[in-house]
């Protein structure tokens, strides 16, 4: 019995003096250190390979799996996280948040609805000259995220991440005569060939604009573009091959009024 008490006392004293506990290792590197494979060195810091099977708890309360230097409450050097019996509750749109990993592997939450979507409307009516390519300038986005940066002064949109993006561009052309050609496009900036282009021939002359009636020829174009790198820039363009025309920000007609020229982008 005395021998058992002596062993316990020695353990308590040694633990108190070192302020570190090691399991399967005589060389603990943190407050609590488990060397699962019993392969750590007797002195000095274990190699990355030796650390890969270690579990540690630091004095600041950070836990590391496969790393002796955790910088967050739970820091996993490499591997996957699995929940075998995750609950079957359905998420709530506009309330729940999506968990994503940043470039350093740190988990963060973002709003689900605004994560991939960009949407903006034309700031005001724009006059476009016959056969001249004009940049459509949209107002502050109604929906956007960190994926996009939009300049409302020059109409240049910057993609902050590479990937595939679905783009829908819609515009209403007024002061258009029958037989004229309308063109909507997506072009890189600095300028080069179209990334996407749609055209439409007008079948009738649009009504004259008045205070109570603003009706145009509506055109919509959808395509996918491949963004090669973060920082890639584009602009949205319109042209009318005919008389000088107007791109309407909104229409007014017998059934009411509303926005008609807008752009929507979503990462897919």
DSSP conformation class of 254: T
Q: Residue 177 is encoded by which pair of tokens?
A: 């005569």
Which pTM was predicted? 0.63
Given the DSSP bridges, would you call strands 63-65 and 74-76 parallel, antiparallel or unpaired?
A: parallel
218 beta partners: 172
Residue closest to 116 by CA, chosen among 157, 138, 145 = 145
Question: How many CA atoms within 13 Å lie on the side-chain side of 41?
Answer: 9
Residue closest to 68 by CA, chosen among 102, 28, 100 = 28
In order of start, what are the domains of the chain with their CATH numbers? 2-76 (no CATH), 117-267 (2.60.120.40)
Predicted confidence pLDDT, tens digits, the chain (268 residues): 555 555 444 455 454 445 799 999 999 999 999 999 999 999 999 999 999 999 999 999 999 999 999 999 999 999 888 888 887 777 776 677 788 888 888 988 876 555 689 999 999 999 999 889 999 999 999 999 889 999 999 999 999 999 999 999 999 999 999 999 999 999 999 999 999 999 999 988 888 888 888 999 999 999 999 999 999 999 999 999 877 899 999 999 889 999 999 999 999 8
Tens of pLDDT, residues 34-55: 999 999 999 999 999 999 999 9
- Classified as helix, coil or strand, 176 is coil
In this prediction, residue 5 carries a pLDDT of: 55
């Amino acid at each position: 019995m005395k021998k058992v008490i002596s062993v316990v006392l020695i353990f308590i004293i040694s633990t108190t003096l070192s302020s570190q506990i090691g399991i399967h290792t005589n060389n603990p590197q943190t407050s609590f250190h488990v060397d699962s494979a019993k392969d750590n060195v007797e002195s000095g810091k274990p190699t990355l390979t030796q650390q890969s099977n270690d579990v540690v708890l630091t004095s600041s309360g950070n836990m590391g799996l496969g790393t002796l230097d955790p910088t967050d409450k739970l820091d996993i050097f490499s591997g996957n996280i699995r929940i075998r019996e995750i609950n079957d509750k359905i998420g709530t749109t506009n309330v729940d948040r999506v968990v994503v990993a940043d470039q350093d592997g740190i988990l963060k939450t973002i709003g689900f609805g605004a994560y991939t979507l960009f949407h903006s409307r034309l700031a005001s009516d724009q006059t476009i000259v016959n056969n001249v390519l004009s940049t459509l300038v949209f107002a502050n986005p109604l929906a956007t995220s960190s994926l996009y940066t939009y300049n409302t002064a020059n109409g240049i949109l910057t993609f902050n991440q590479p990937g595939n993006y679905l783009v829908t561009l819609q515009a209403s052309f007024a002061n258009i005569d029958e037989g004229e050609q309308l063109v909507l496009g997506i072009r890189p900036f600095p300028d080069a060939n179209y990334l996407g282009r749609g055209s439409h021939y007008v079948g009738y002359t649009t009504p004259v604009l008045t205070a109570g009636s603003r009706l145009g020829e509506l055109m919509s174009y959808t395509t996918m573009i491949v963004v090669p790198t973060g920082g890639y820039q584009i602009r949205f363009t319109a042209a009318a091959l005919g008389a000088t025309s107007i791109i309407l920000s909104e229409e007014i007609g017998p059934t009411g009024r509303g926005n008609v020229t807008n752009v929507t982008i979503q990462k897919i």
